[in-house]
Amino acid sequence: MKPLASPKNTLDKNMLGVFRYSRRAIELVWQTSPALTLGLALATLIAGVLPAAMAYIGQLIVDAVVAAMARYQQDQVLHYQTALNYVVLEGILVLAVAAAQRALTAQKAILQGLLGQKVNLMILEKAQTLTLSHFEDSEFYDKLVQARREASSRPLALVNKTFTLLQNALSLSSFAVLLWHFSPWALVLLVCGALPAFIAEAKFSGDAFLMFRWRSPEVRQQNYLETLLAREDNIKEVRLYQLGERFLARYATIFATLFKESKRLILRRESWGFALGVISTLVFYGAYAWIVRDTIIGVITLGQMTMYLLLFRQGQGAVSTSLTAISGMYEDNLYLSNLYDYLEQETPQAKAGLLVGPVPHDGIRFEQVSFQYPGSDKPALSEVTLHIRPGRSLAIVGENGSGKTTLIKLLTRLYHPTEGRILLDGLDLREWNEAALLTRVGVIFQDFVRYQFTVGENIGAGDNARFDDEAGWQQAAALGKATDFIEHLSQGYQTQLGRWFKGGQELSGGQWQKIALARAFMREDADILVLDEPTAAMDAQAEANIFQHFQAHTKDKMAILISHRFSTVRLAHEIIVMEQGHIKERGTHDALLAQQGQYAHLFTLQAEGYR
Ligand SMILES: Nc1ncnc2c1ncn2[C@@H]1O[C@H](COP(=O)(O)OP(=O)(O)OP(=O)(O)O)[C@@H](O)[C@H]1O
């Protein structure tokens, strides 16, 4: 594990940064549901301006009461109606505010579900357009994981906070209109009291701390340690090697470093928050004293005093709600910047491509193909030239890391050659229509997928068009020699596999491989079949049987086998021996034995082992 890096602050500290993604978040909400967005805006507007209206009515009530009291003193008649009208009006406004608040909450809750689904779909659809190298880029992959993790909450949280800010800004503006009548200076006071706290909050919110928590490699390391310590597929080994404590200690060390940073920031933020809060309070009480004085000397009425005090108090409340909203917005912004970085990642445009090659039945040709993985400093394949005709099989042998799987990745267009070209029926793979090319290829990689679906679906996955074709499953299972054990499973082809879901049944390594083979056989239209060591968990005899069987059923097809077992390899029409990305030897089994080269050496070595 790399040493912990110091936090980087790559984010601009522009205070307006907190609003940077608000527009996009609102756009997103709008696309999700224009009606709900409008509803949200309307409810926000109502909830924003009604408090000022209520304060104003409050003033009218007090003044009406004072006037009625004076008249009562004079004529001993109860002049009740005006005050009562205002009281009723205020009651109505209170109801309206309650309705607007409820409408806001309801609409937000509904949007939350819709928006979460929309964002998740966007993320997953985008993932379908990415290339393998995107997934191998740790930083990019991290973006994908982050984007998915909080897809259902973050975008709406940002919208909520934006609307909360808007609502409070509206309230504050309407308070300002009323305060203006008292004195423009009161307005200045209100703004000056609130401004420092606003600025400080925006500044601290933008601090690198959140960036650090979210994106730093340390957090990624922590997440990784969590998966080691708490995931079913890792726990077995971690237990057996007693690595738990060591990993926990590592986890704790990373936390301590991160925590030190965040503690410092929290303390700074809260001390500044308090200091600036004192200014606001002083301003408020200064204004209070001023209003009380003006009431006593008769500059304003008792009703006005009630209203202004209410305005100041509510103004303070609006300011502090806004501050809380701002402090959370920064994190939401980080999420959205991450989300959009991911969604806007350039992906290769799918070309229409051609459906057939100019030389039908020519098969596959590698012409001087070299390849280097992105970010790697040495080639994984160098100047590989080979030709496989329909009806022929090719076995690839070679040490670990000699480039066998890489060759298959290029053949299946998961990567493009760095130099040279690969032709299928005389047409460069790059020129092929993707769907037409892929229907012709069936591959089972060594790390094939163990779908946590039913047995049948695990096999059906080999041919999307026949995913649910039960007769097809049975046929393919027979070819993959999987029928016997499947029939012994409690629910046959309907048996749920794996442990992720209730009632799932786990299979042995070899049984999974048979399922994977059946999946390859499901791909009837494919004429290029590749087995990249999917039979490693079987014994040598079983593997040889399967390959023989495989060849017999792929007569007009091209079969490519990667294996470390020479008893199987010898059955292929042609064998190539790879070494450090080169083809070192090639020929039939007999020819290679006669050459007395590396193949012959390795074959003899293995044959002796079996004797
Ligand atoms: N995704 C990758 N990114 C960078 N380098 C890679 C990647 N995959 C493989 N390599 C490198 O490319 C070389 C060839 O790897 P490849 O997987 O083709 O070997 P292989 O012959 O299939 O080995 P094995 O028998 O162990 O399966 C190795 O040196 C490996 O380190």
Q: CA gyration radius for the chain?
A: 36
- CA–chain centroid gap for 510, Å, is 33
> Is 125 close to ligand 1, i.e. is its CB under 6 Å away?
no
Encoded tokens for 435: 């769907």
Tell me if 423 sits within 8 A of 367, measured CB to CB. yes
Residue 198 has pLDDT above 50, yes or no: yes
Encoded tokens for 167: 């609502």
Q: What is the pTM of this model?
A: 0.73
State the average pLDDT over residues 166-194. 84
Q: Is 506 exposed, middle or buried (0-12, 13-18, 19+ CB in 10 A)?
A: exposed
> Is 398 close to ligand 1, i.e. is its CB under 6 Å away?
yes
**Residue to mutate (ligand 1; options 131, 132, 133, 373; most atoms within 8 A of CB):** 373
> Is 314 close to ligand 1, i.e. is its CB under 6 Å away?
no
Q: Which atom of ligand 1 is nearest to the CA of 132?
A: 1
Tell me if 517 sits within 8 A of 481, measured CB to CB. yes
SS3 561: strand
> Is 171 close to ligand 1, i.e. is its CB under 6 Å away?
no
What lies within 8 Å, CB to CB, of 521 at 6+ separation is 462, 475, 476, 479, 480, 553
DSSP state of 391: T
CA 580 to ligand 1 centroid distance, Å: 10
> Is 237 close to ligand 1, i.e. is its CB under 6 Å away?
no
CA 420 to ligand 1 centroid distance, Å: 19
CA 374 to ligand 1 centroid distance, Å: 12
**Residue to mutate (ligand 1; options 406, 414, 415; most atoms within 8 A of CB):** 406
Q: Which atom of ligand 1 is nearest to the CA of 399?
A: 25
CA 369 to ligand 1 centroid distance, Å: 16
Q: Is 245 exposed, middle or buried (0-12, 13-18, 19+ CB in 10 A)?
A: exposed
Q: Predicted confidence band at 268 (pLDDT cuts at 50, 70, 90)?
A: confident
Q: Predicted confidence band at 565 (pLDDT cuts at 50, 70, 90)?
A: confident
Encoded tokens for 396: 């690839």
Tell me if 415 sits within 8 A of 409, measured CB to CB. yes
Other CB atoms closer than 10 Å to residue 278's CB: what's the count? 12
> Is 161 close to ligand 1, i.e. is its CB under 6 Å away?
no
Summarised one tens digit per residue, pLDDT across range 42-80 is: 998 898 889 889 989 999 999 999 899 999 999 888 888
Per-residue model confidence (pLDDT) at position 533: 82
Q: What is the ipTM of this complex?
A: 0.96
State the average pLDDT over residues 82-91. 93
Beta bridge partners, 559, equal 393, 529
Summarised one tens digit per residue, pLDDT across range 372-398 is: 998 888 999 999 999 999 999 999 999
Summarised one tens digit per residue, pLDDT across range 339-358 is: 888 888 888 777 788 888 89
Query: When comparing pLDDT for 422 and 480, which is higher?
Result: 422
Residue 95 has pLDDT above 80, yes or no: yes
> Is 373 close to ligand 1, i.e. is its CB under 6 Å away?
yes
> Is 400 close to ligand 1, i.e. is its CB under 6 Å away?
yes
Q: Which atom of ligand 1 is nearest to the CA of 136?
A: 1
Alpha carbons 415 and 406: distance in angstroms, whole number: 9
> Is 405 close to ligand 1, i.e. is its CB under 6 Å away?
yes
Q: Which of 410, 426, 442, 420 is nearest to 558 (CA)?
A: 442
Per-residue model confidence (pLDDT) at position 206: 65
CA 401 to ligand 1 centroid distance, Å: 5
Per-residue model confidence (pLDDT) at position 16: 60
What lies within 8 Å, CB to CB, of 163 at 6+ separation is 40, 41, 44, 104
